[in-house]
Amino acid sequence: MVRAELEDPGPAVASSEAGSAGAESVAELPPSARESRELPAPDFLGASESAFDRTQKRRRPNRWLLIALGVLMALLAVDGAGIAANTALSSLYSPQRAVADYFAAQSRGSVSGMMSNATFLQGSDPAFFSSSAVTAMMALPQNRDVKDIRIISTHSTDYSTETVNVSMMWGGTPRRQAYTVRKDNSRVHELIYHSWRVDIPFATVQLALPNQPGPIAVDNINTASPDPDTVQVIQGYHEVTMSASFAYDTSSRLVDAVGYPGMASFKSTVGSIATYHASKSGDDSCLDHTYSARSGYYWTWELPGYGHVEGTTYRYALAGDPTVGMILTVTTQPGIVDAIGTCASTLTINGRAYKFRGGWTAKLTWSSGDFTAELSDYCFDTRDDSGTGTV
C-alpha cells in the first residue's frame, strides 16, 4: 500500500480580514487533510511503490517477448519452406515420376532418357537389350506414338520396390500396364532422396518360319540362332525380317509385342529368284528336233488315245511354258527344292501331230548359285482333244 503524507503546515496564520463577527480568525486545514490517504495499487507488475505516483506510467512493450516471437516466426517460415522443399523432392524422385519420365522420353525418341529411367530385363539374347537395340526399336514410329500417360495407382512391396499401374495410348491402342519400380541406390540426391528405375519386361515373339529360312533379324539385329522358333525382345513394336536366301526373297513383319506375345509368320512361297532359276533348270536338248530313221527302218509307238502308230520321222515339242504355274516346295534337306507342274506336248510323226497333256516333277538341287534338276515328265500321258494344244 502506498501512502502520501502531507507536509506540516506550521502554526496558524491570522487573517487580516475580519469575519462576520469582527474577530480574528485562523485558517486551518481540515483534519482529514492531515490524515494519510491510500492511493490505488499500481496496475502493472514490477512497479515500485516508491516510484509510483498519481500519474500512472505508460505501459511499454516487452523487448524479450518480441525477440522470442520473431525467432518463432522465422523458425516457422524455415520449417514451412522445408516441408515444401521435401514435398517437391519426394515427387521429383519417386516411382511414379520414374514411370512418367520413361514414357515421356520414349515419346520424344530419347534413348538416353529411356535408359536413365529404366532397367531392361534381358531375355535369352543380350544383343536385343543393349542401347543399340533401344535405338533400333525407336526408329519405328509406333514406339514413339505414346501419349495420354496416366498413373492409376501404386502398391508398395517393400521399402525399395513398388508396383505402378499406368494407362496410356501406345501405337493408337489403349494400354494398361503394371510396372515394377525399384530404388536406385547408386543415385542419391540431397543425401536422402534416391532415384528409381522402371523394370521394362521382355516380350516373346513367336516365329513361324518356312523350311530353310533366310537369316532372321529383329530391328536389323541378327538373331544368335539361324533358325529360331522364338525371339525375346524389349516390350514394344519390332520389325522382324527374314533375309533373302537361295529359296526366298527378303520379307518383313511388323510385330506388336507390347502387352502380349507377338507373332511373325513368313510364307513358304519360293521367291522370284529361285523361281527363275528353277524354270531354267530343265534339260530340253531333246525337244524341237526332228529325228529320222535310217534307210529301210522305222519306229513304232503305242500312243495313249491313239493306239499303234508307225513312222520314219518324229519331233517332240512342248506347247507353252511348262514352268508357268509350277509349285516349288523347299524341303528340309539343305539346298533341295521339289518342283511340280503341268504340261502340254505334241509328237509329230511323219508330219502328223498327236497332242497330249500331262504333268512333271523335278528335284532341284541348289549349287554354285543355280539349280540342277532331276526331271520326270509325263507330258505324253493323256490324249488331248481340247483343241488348245497348250496347258
**What digits encode the pLDDT tens for the residues 191-217?**
556 789 999 999 999 999 999 999 999
| Of 165, 185, 184, nearest in space to 175 by CA | 165
> What percent of the chain has a predicted confidence (pLDDT) above 90?
58
Q: How far apart are CA 314 and CA 77, in angstroms?
A: 115
> Residue type for 197, please?
R
Q: How far apart are CA 249 and CA 192, in angstroms?
A: 58
CA 87 vs CA 79, 82, 83, 305: distances in Å: 12, 8, 6, 98
DSSP H stretches of helix in the chain: 31-34, 63-92, 95-108, 111-117, 131-137, 141-144, 272-279
Q: How far apart are CA 162 and CA 196, in angstroms?
A: 10
Split at pLDDT 50, 70, 90, the class of 15 is very low
Split at pLDDT 50, 70, 90, the class of 129 is very high
The residue length of the chain stands at 391
- Helical (H) or strand (E) element with 343: strand 336-349
Q: How far apart are CA 70 and CA 78, in angstroms?
A: 12
| Of 132, 141, 174, 150, nearest in space to 96 by CA | 150
Q: How far apart are CA 208 and CA 222, in angstroms?
A: 17
Per-residue model confidence as pLDDT tens digits over 75-116: 555 454 444 444 444 455 689 999 999 999 999 999 999 999
Mean of pLDDT over the chain: 81
CA 39 vs CA 36, 56, 75, 118, 149: distances in Å: 10, 11, 46, 85, 82
Would you state the pLDDT for residue 66?
65
Range with the largest mean pLDDT of 15-19, 181-185, 255-259 = 255-259
Check whether 119 has a pLDDT greater than 90.
Answer: yes
Would you state the pLDDT for residue 157?
87
Check whether 10 has a pLDDT greater than 70.
Answer: no
